[in-house]
Chains A and B, each alone.
Chain A
Amino acid sequence: MMTYIVFILSVIFVISFVGFSSKPSPIYGGLVLIVSGGVGCGIIMNFGGSFLGLMVFLIYLGGMLVVFGYTTAMATEQYPEVWVSNTTVMGVFLLGLLMEVMLVLYVLKSEEVGVVFKFSGVGDWAIYDTGDSEVFSEEIMGVAALYSYGAWVVIVTGWSLLVGVLVILEVTRGD
């Protein structure tokens, strides 16, 4: 099972995305977002990116999702929708699950899968030697490079975040 751990985690990833795309109340959407965040962290860590995985947990789940949970709790309604309360929501969820199951069976059974791009069945998902150099890990060097060669990216993303806050305050301010 450990060879196919990335495949399993990816399937759980997609299932939790289906879970919140079928639009239950945002509280439950946040719940499956936590699951998908954790699973996504697992996928990244299996490729050797331990730092980035922990970053997902810390910043995404521990920062952004917490704030999201608080704001949703402030704006919640008396009877929030669950996946089984509304026929539409349940129908979409089951449809998404069905499509995922069919895709998984397709991947498991056939030699080569060519949906949008070709990859060779489950073999492509297994963890092989990812080819990072022996001395240092590629991923940490990437983060370090972000702050040296990639200073422009830091400036642009920092500015985008600042303007994002300004825009949101402006939009929700009203008159």
Chain B
Amino acid sequence: MFSLLCTGVCNLLIANLLLVEFLHMGTHDLHPHVVDHRQELKHILLFGFCYEDVVYSLPLFSHSSILYPVLVHTQQLPYRKGLTNSARKIDMAIENEQPAVGLSKVAVSETHGEDSPYFAGWKAYDENPYDESSNQSGVIQMGLAENQVSFDLLEKYLEEHSEASSWGIGAPGFRENALFQDYHGLKSFRQAMANFMEQIRGGRAKFDPDRIVLTAGATAANELLTFILADPGDALLVPTPYYPGLDRDLRWRTGVKIVPIHCDSSNNFQVTPEALEAAYECAESMNLKVRGVLITNPSNPLGATIQRSVLEEILDFVTRKNIHLVSDEIYSGSTFSSSEFISIAEILEAHDYKNSERVHIVYSLSKDLGLPGFRVGTIYSYNDKVVTTARRMSSFTLISSQTQHLLACMLSNKEFTENYIKTNRESLRKRYEMIIKGLKNAGIECLKGNAGLFCWMNLSPLLEESTREGELALWKVILNEVRLNISPGSSCHCSEPGWFRVCFANMSEQTLEVALERIHKLMEQRKSKET
């Protein structure tokens, strides 16, 4: 989405006039650097009002009808209040020049989002990764939400059940498995998944294996659902802060837009009916058709489950607006205590599944089981047409039958799954308590969390200025001087600067100790600077 920048009301008028002229220009008149996004420019006029963002100076060229549009992510705009001149210049980026060899708009767009700090930190880590023995001064990766705390349980299972990773002696099941590309998925695997999902929810919701559609990861599941629920140009409402990857997953190839539901620390970033309404109205004012709400529960990056009352309110909202609800429950097995997670499935069950055809659940084994490499995602929909269509579309993203076989064996083993779920929860909880305690000792507060592989840390007292720039400056210090890669809230579209997501389950306890020591040192240094 584009944003046109001008100062003050006066220039806003001029800008609008130029805009109108620009919209009527022939394509051949456009400067070669300008990508023809004029359809989207129509939204500009309303854009500023919606976000109360106003406008900044933009040098107007003597070729007065040529403007250099700036590609700005919608959610970044809330930060634009009070930008300095230099910051404005930094932010102005000329759109990618259309390469000589015609590629698609999708291919050359930046919507994959990989130029954000979320990914830049990874680069710094890759260049100087911490290692307990060989590189103790390296960067510790705390920006990667992986679960490495329960691998021993998985390894033990594999040792004791070689039939899961082979196909039996002399590989008799191999042929059938190698040929199996039915997009319904291995029945035994779907059954095992349904059971596993039920177990995670303490049996408080039932899942029908025939409503499970398999995809290569939740990344694929989210994109697929978006293709099914929305047309290009439509919008999905997503509460902030949210997982940065959604910008790519929901928008890139689908052409669908995200309109944020702003949440803030005043109520622990919970979604409110007012925020839902405001987001919906914002979308309407931009002439965007809202097709649904997507929530992540437990939340990434907050590391907290959504309360029952909030889920009820969200369900009520989507019902009134007659739109869809996607509940990404990828962290459902990573709640520290089994009773604290309430799935949307439970809410539906309590309502006797009335109006449930608008609800769809996304799940994956990447977080709870720590198997992101195996690419196992699922869509569970209460809507028959969605199930059928999703199944057909899953042809583009099927799970390797070899992997389905392995996991069908593993997840059908009730003894294994019960023990795994319980132990994994316990291990995560311990890790969480360790990091919270360590941060508290350093004088840092976190949002009260009860799930996930990370905590939502509040470093706003440390900001030089309470802006996105201030946050990024602090993030750079933490990355380059303290040598910890953590995720700045702005990359998660948080509207309040100073929050950071810090992962704790993708490293050993020793490494976490080292990280906490470094943080402690940083805080000590800051304190002594002040006194």
**Is chain B found bound to chain A in the same assembly?**
no
Residues of chain A touching chain B, judged by Cβ–Cβ distance below 8 Å, are none
